[in-house]
Amino acid sequence: MFNTLRTLLLTALHAFHRRATVQYPEQQPYLPPRYRGRIVLSRDPDGEERCVACNLCAVACPVDCISLQKTETDGRWRPEYFRINFSRCIFCGFCEEACPTYAIQLTPDFEMGEYARPNLVYEKEDLLISGTGKYPDYSFYNVAGIPIPGKERGASERERPPIDLHSLLP
Q: Are 120 and 85 in contact (CB under 8 A)?
A: yes
Q: Are 59 and 14 in contact (CB under 8 A)?
A: no
Tell whether residue 51 is a contact of ligand SF4 (CB under 6 A): yes
Q: Are 107 and 135 in contact (CB under 8 A)?
A: no
Residue 5 binds what, of ligand SF4, other proteins, none (CB under 5 to 8 Å, by partner type)? none
Residue 12 binds what, of other proteins, ligand SF4, none (CB under 5 to 8 Å, by partner type)? other proteins
Q: Are 142 and 157 in contact (CB under 8 A)?
A: yes
Residue 40 binds what, of other proteins, ligand SF4, none (CB under 5 to 8 Å, by partner type)? none
Which H or E run contains 7? Answer: helix 2-13
Tell whether residue 10 is a contact of other proteins (CB under 8 A): yes
Selected from 37, 67, 83, 93, the binder of ligand SF4 by CB under 6 A is 93
Tell whether residue 12 is a contact of other proteins (CB under 8 A): yes
Sheet containing 66-73: which strands, arranged edge to edge? 66-73, 76-85, 121-122
* Reduced 3-state DSSP string for 146-159: CCECCECCCCCCCC
Options 1-9, 26-34, 62-70, 149-157: segment touching ligand SF4 (CB under 6 A) = 62-70
Tell whether residue 4 is a contact of other proteins (CB under 8 A): yes
Q: Which is nearer to ligand SF4, 41 or 156 (CB)?
A: 41
